[in-house]
């Protein structure tokens, strides 16, 4: 029998956010189950539960739309009725309303921004608070962030600052929970992933293809790679890691100025310059003189 290195066997973990087989939450749950953990799935609607039940037959699937406090309280009651502590919590929930197409950041509406904050960031706080008495004193809470919140990508838009707020909340949750427990709060921050949710972001596919060129290995981060890090953070083996955002980008952030990538626009610029009529260049210089 293989050694249970991650020590996840017989531990109970609640996983929020499975939508389909491409979901980060789905990949995390698959690893947890393979390690012998008991996974309780939470999805946002009864319709979603029916769909998820088809790919995860026989699993316990609860419903909770985190926008509604009464549903969070109902989730708490259902989890409490199952008995036993919760050793882990996976928060893989994010939502942004891009209706009307992508706009400049400064044109983001108040309702768009606040709803995205509520679902994508505040829900981590509200769920953690609701379940605090059910969590094992040494439980681990893991959320899903992004590899950088300082790169102003037009395709990701207003979700960048919201993920930054999510990252910041880890420190404050870890500190406030330390008053009565040793519960840890961390985030996995992957680079661009190929998921159904990301496919709905305007311009995301082009950004994904560009990321594959920037990453040193010329291959995008796999969802399973991000899920592996999440499983580690959920395990007792990561007990010394708290209030951290672990970047999983396969080195993309070190390679934006890759010589090969730089040479492409430079070559294009040279070609354009070579094709310009000498008289046009001379005229331009004369005009400026």
Give the pLDDT score at 256: 85
Both structure tokens of 270: 């040279």
What number of CA atoms fall less than 13 Å from residue 166's CA on the CB side?
A: 32
pLDDT tier, 262 (very low <50, low <70, confident <90, very high otherwise):
confident
Ordered strands of the 135-144 beta sheet:
61-63, 38-43, 12-16, 86-91, 135-144, 184-190, 245-248
What number of CA atoms fall less than 13 Å from residue 130's CA on the CB side?
A: 22
Residues in contact with 22: Cβ distance below 8 Å, sequence separation at least 6, in sequence order: 194, 195, 196, 223
**Closest C-alpha among 208, 216, 189 to residue 92:** 189
Both structure tokens of 1: 């029998």
Helix H or strand E segment including 211: helix 204-214
pLDDT tier, 139 (very low <50, low <70, confident <90, very high otherwise):
very high
Distance, in Å, from the CA atom of 185 to the CA atom of 167, rounded to the nearest integer, reads 10
32: region left, alpha or beta (phi > 0 left; psi from -120 to 50 alpha): alpha
Give the pLDDT score at 289: 35
Give the pLDDT score at 97: 85
3-state SS class at 186: strand
Both structure tokens of 49: 């539960």
Give the pLDDT score at 273: 60
3-state SS class at 225: helix
pLDDT tier, 288 (very low <50, low <70, confident <90, very high otherwise):
very low
Average pLDDT, the chain: 89
Instruction: Walk me through the domains of the chain, giving residue ranges and CATH numbers.
Output: 12-256 (3.40.50.720), 258-289 (no CATH)
Tell me the pTM: 0.88
pLDDT per position as a tens digit, 202-215: 778 888 888 899 99
Q: Residue 287 above 70 pLDDT?
A: no
Query: Which residue has better confidence, 198 or 92?
Result: 92
Distance, in Å, from the CA atom of 138 to the CA atom of 183, rounded to the nearest integer, reads 5
Range 53-73 burial, b when 16+ CB lie within 10 A, else e: eeebeebebbbbebeeeeebe
Distance, in Å, from the CA atom of 213 to the CA atom of 217, rounded to the nearest integer, reads 8
3-state SS class at 14: strand
pLDDT tier, 110 (very low <50, low <70, confident <90, very high otherwise):
very high
Distance, in Å, from the CA atom of 145 to the CA atom of 226, rounded to the nearest integer, reads 11
Give the pLDDT score at 266: 61
Is the Cβ–Cβ distance between 19 and 196 less than 8 Å? yes
Specify the DSSP class assigned to residue 98. Answer: -
Q: Residue 271 above 80 pLDDT?
A: no
Give the pLDDT score at 235: 98
Give the pLDDT score at 172: 98
Tell me the average pLDDT across 263-273. 66
Integer angstrom CA distances of residue 283 from 66, 99, 286: 64, 48, 5
Give the pLDDT score at 198: 73
């Amino acid at each position: 029998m293989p050694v249970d290195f991650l020590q996840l066997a017989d531990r109970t973990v609640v996983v929020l956010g499975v939508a389909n087989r491409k979901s980060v939450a789905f990949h995390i749950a698959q690893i947890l189950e393979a390690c012998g953990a008991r996974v309780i799935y939470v999805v946002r609607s009864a319709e979603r539960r029916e769909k998820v039940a088809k790919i995860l037959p026989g699993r316990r699937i609860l419903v909770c739309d985190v926008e509604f406090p009464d549903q969070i309280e109902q989730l708490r009651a259902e989890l409490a009725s199952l008995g036993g502590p919760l050793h882990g919590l996976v928060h893989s929930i994010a939502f942004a309303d891009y209706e009307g197409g992508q706009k400049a950041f400064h044109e983001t509406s108040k309702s768009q921004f606040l709803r995205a904050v509520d679902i994508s960031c505040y829900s981590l706080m509200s769920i953690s608070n609701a379940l605090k008495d059910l969590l094992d004193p040494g439980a681990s809470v893991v959320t899903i962030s992004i590899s950088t919140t300082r790169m102003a990508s037009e395709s990701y838009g207003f979700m960048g600052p919201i993920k930054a707020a999510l990252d910041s909340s880890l420190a404050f949750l870890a500190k406030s929970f330390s008053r009565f427990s040793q519960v840890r709060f961390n985030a996995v921050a992957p680079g661009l992933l190929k998921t159904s949710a990301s496919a709905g972001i305007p311009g995301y596919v082009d950004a994904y293809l560009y990321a594959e060129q920037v990453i040193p290995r010329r291959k995008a981060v796999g969802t399973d790679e991000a899920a592996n890090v999440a499983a580690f953070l959920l395990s007792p083996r990561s007990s010394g890691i708290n209030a951290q955002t672990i970047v999983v980008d396969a080195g993309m952030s070190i390679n934006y100025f890759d010589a090969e990538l730089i040479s492409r626009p430079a070559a294009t610029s040279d070609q354009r310059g070579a094709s310009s009529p000498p008289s046009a260049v001379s005229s331009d210089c004369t005009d400026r003189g």
